[in-house]
Amino acid sequence: MVDISGKAVTAREAVAEARVTLPAAVSQALAASGHRTRKGPVFDTAIIAAVQAIKRTHELIPFCHPLPLEHCEVDIDTPRRGLIVIRCTVRTTHRTGVEMEALTGATVAALVIYDMCKALSQDIRIGPIRLLVKRGGKRDHGPRRQASRR
Listed in sequence order, the DSSP H helices in the chain are 24-32, 42-55, 57-60, 99-117
**Separation CA 100–CA 80 (nearest Å):** 28
Q: Does the annotation count 75 as an active-site position?
A: no
**Separation CA 70–CA 49 (nearest Å):** 18
Among the listed residues 77, 115, 123, 140, the single catalytic one is: 115
Q: Which residues make Cβ contacts (< 8 Å) with residue 70, sequence separation at least 6?
A: 91, 92, 93
Identify the bridge partners of residue 18 per DSSP, sorted by sequence position: 86, 129
Known catalytic residues? 115
